[in-house]
């Protein structure tokens, strides 16, 4: 009998991609996957540490999963495993292994060790490798790991090591494997994809996009995440010249106040940011733009927050993810006075979300009567080039093409 595994993923797309890679490696080793954690003999939690709320939620889910499945073995992978290391064996005596994100490719050996009753702590070292995997209609492909930006609020550089780039050859080979198994869309992933460099050819991120667009079967390419300080003129031009590049850019701004941006160590001002958006819209008038915003950063005044709302309005975003500042030990901002009261953070969160919703709905209503190029990842459900969720009754997974939008329901576009 083959061991059945269940992987539960918390946090960002990077973690979702890492879970996909772990699955590929474990399938190669002959493990099977179960749909429910209760049926699994080995449960892997792939954790997130970006905000304390995410971390606490993961810990309580882990305790619950252990109670519900008293026979199973458990592995904790991801950023929280790296952050607390072997301490976690005391808190969760049933944990068989803790594994840092950089040790992703050791999952096969670690799973075998844990299933034979051993214990493992893989917290330092490791390198990204190659796994030939099969995929669904849309799949993540990691191009860059780690981060060197040290935004003052963020734990990622401490938990995911220094920035490294995968060789273009490996990335393209992985995308070809996926395309051969039926994948139509690849989403290139990294904390900071715009700084991508291929050591062998010296090619940059735009070169990688142009090469990926030549792969048969790949109909659309997306990427995440971009840092405003690294957006190049070449990349902006790529939106005009590469028809496979989805018309969507997620460009986290974090704040509309220059003094807060400085304290966040973001290395751009609100004016620079708005100029980038202007150039992007010149290059691709139908591009959708989304962002991340943190409210309640130490020292954020009412006037700073008003500037954030003003920026959101002038940028006319298609979507804004708003986060309440969460102080994280070890980061530079942890030693700044967390002087915005929680009540105030909550009020700012609601105000930013309300504005984001108003803008997002307006943008979507503008699509009524228009044709939206859509790739259906599942029957009836897909995403337009602008990354809007699209519903079309009768559409089949893998269908791709323009669909006419007849209505908007919530944030979804409804096609004829
Ligand atoms: N690398 C990406 C970037 O440069 O924006 C995103 C990585 S981070 C995992 C995703 C988002 O979480 C960030 O854009 C930021 O808005 C938010 N975030 C990170 N640290 C945070 C903190 N300490 N408190 C609240 N939000 C945070
Ligand atoms: Fe964190 Fe900044 Fe790196 Fe994004 S760019 S992962 S926010 S340090």
What pLDDT is stored for residue 126 in this prediction?
85
- Determine if ligand 2 sits within 6 Å of the CB of residue 156: yes
Listed as own residue / partner, the contacts of 109-116 with beta carbons closer than 8 Å and 24 or more positions apart are: 110/75, 111/3, 111/5, 111/26, 111/29, 111/31, 111/42, 111/44, 111/75, 112/29, 114/42, 114/73, 114/75, 115/3, 115/41, 115/42, 115/73
Name the closest-CA residue to atom 2, ligand 2.
151
Q: How far apart are the first and last CA of the chain?
A: 48
Helix extents (H) in 29-78:
52-68
Using most ligand atoms within 8 A of CB, pick from 14, 145, 146, 147 the residue to mutate for ligand 2: 147
Using most ligand atoms within 8 A of CB, pick from 55, 78, 154, 223 the residue to mutate for ligand 1: 154
173: enclosing H helix or E strand: helix 168-180
What pLDDT is stored for residue 132 in this prediction?
80
- What three-state secondary structure class fits 130? coil
- Give the HSE-up count for residue 234: Cα atoms under 13 Å, Cβ half-sphere: 12
DSSP 260: H
What pLDDT is stored for residue 173 in this prediction?
95
Using most ligand atoms within 8 A of CB, pick from 13, 153, 156 the residue to mutate for ligand 2: 156
Contact partners, residue 190, CB within 8 Å, separation at least 6: 14, 142, 143, 144, 145, 196, 224, 225
Burial category of 108 from C-beta neighbours within 10 Å (exposed 0-12, middle 13-18, buried 19 and up): middle
Separation of alpha carbons 221 and 187, rounded Å: 6
- Closest Cα to residue 184, out of 143, 212, 144? 212
What pLDDT is stored for residue 116 in this prediction?
94
**Ligand 2 atom index nearest CA of 266:** 2
What pLDDT is stored for residue 125 in this prediction?
84
- Determine if ligand 2 sits within 6 Å of the CB of residue 149: yes
Q: Which of the ligands is closest to the CA of residue 159? A: 2
**Ligand 2 atom index nearest CA of 160:** 6
Burial category of 162 from C-beta neighbours within 10 Å (exposed 0-12, middle 13-18, buried 19 and up): exposed
Separation of alpha carbons 267 and 120, rounded Å: 40
Q: What pTM did the predictor assign? A: 0.94
Q: 225: cis peptide before it, omega within 30°?
A: yes
DSSP E strands in 225-282: the ranges are 248-250
What pLDDT is stored for residue 129 in this prediction?
87
**Ligand 1 atom index nearest CA of 252:** 5
What pLDDT is stored for residue 135 in this prediction?
87
Name the closest-CA residue to atom 1, ligand 2.
154
β-strand pairing of 95-99 with 319-324: unpaired
Separation of alpha carbons 105 and 110, rounded Å: 10
**Per-block mean pLDDT, blocks of 10 residues, the chain (416 long):** 91 92 92 91 96 92 94 96 96 96 95 95 90 88 94 94 93 95 96 94 96 97 96 95 96 98 98 98 97 98 98 98 96 94 97 98 96 97 98 97 96 96
Q: Which of the ligands is closest to the CA of residue 328? A: 1
């Amino acid at each position: 009998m083959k061991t059945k595994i269940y992987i539960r993923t918390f946090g960002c797309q990077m973690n979702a991609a890492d879970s996909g890679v772990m699955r590929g490696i474990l399938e190669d080793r002959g493990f099977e996957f179960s749909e429910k954690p209760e049926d699994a003999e080995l449960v892997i939690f792939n954790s997130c540490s970006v905000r304390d709320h995410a971390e606490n939620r993961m810990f309580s889910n882990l305790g619950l999963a252990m109670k519900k499945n008293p026979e199973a073995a458990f592995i904790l992978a991801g950023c929280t495993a790296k952050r607390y290391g072997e301490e976690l064996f005391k808190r969760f005596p049933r944990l068989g292994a803790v594994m840092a994100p950089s040790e992703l490719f050791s999952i096969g050996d670690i799973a075998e060790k844990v299933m034979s009753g051993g214990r493992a702590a893989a917290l330092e070292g490791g390198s990204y490798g190659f796994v030939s995997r099969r995929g669904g209609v849309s799949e993540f492909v990691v191009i860059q790991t780690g981060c060197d930006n040290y935004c003052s609020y963020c734990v990622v550089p401490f938990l995911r090591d220094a920035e490294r780039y995968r060789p273009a050859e490996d990335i393209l080979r992985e995308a070809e494997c996926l395309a051969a198994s039926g994948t139509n869309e690849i989403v290139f992933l990294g904390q900071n994809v715009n700084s991508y460099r291929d050591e062998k050819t010296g090619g940059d991120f735009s070169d990688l996009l142009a090469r990926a667009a030549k792969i048969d079967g790949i109909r659309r390419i997306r990427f995440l995440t971009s840092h405003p300080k690294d957006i190049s003129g070449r990349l902006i031009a790529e939106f005009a010249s590469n028809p496979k590049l989805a018309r969507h850019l997620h460009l986290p701004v974090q704040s509309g106040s220059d003094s807060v941006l400085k304290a966040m160590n973001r290395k751009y001002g609100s004016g620079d940011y708005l100029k980038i958006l202007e150039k992007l819209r010149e290059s691709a008038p139908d591009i959708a733009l989304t962002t991340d915003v943190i409210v309640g950063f130490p020292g954020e005044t009412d006037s700073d927050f008003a500037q954030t709302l003003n920026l959101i309005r002038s940028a006319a975003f298609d979507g804004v993810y708003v986060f309440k500042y969460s102080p994280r030990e070890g980061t530079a901002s942890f030693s700044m006075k967390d002087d915005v009261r929680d009540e105030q953070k909550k009020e700012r969160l609601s105000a930013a979300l309300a504005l984001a919703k108003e803008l997002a709905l307006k943008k979507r209503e503008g699509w009524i009567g228009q044709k939206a190029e859509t790739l259906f990842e599942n029957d009836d459900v897909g995403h337009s080039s602008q990354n809007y969720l699209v519903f079309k009754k009768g559409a089949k997974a893998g269908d791709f093409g323009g669909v006419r939008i007849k209505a908007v329901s919530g944030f979804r576009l409804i096609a004829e």
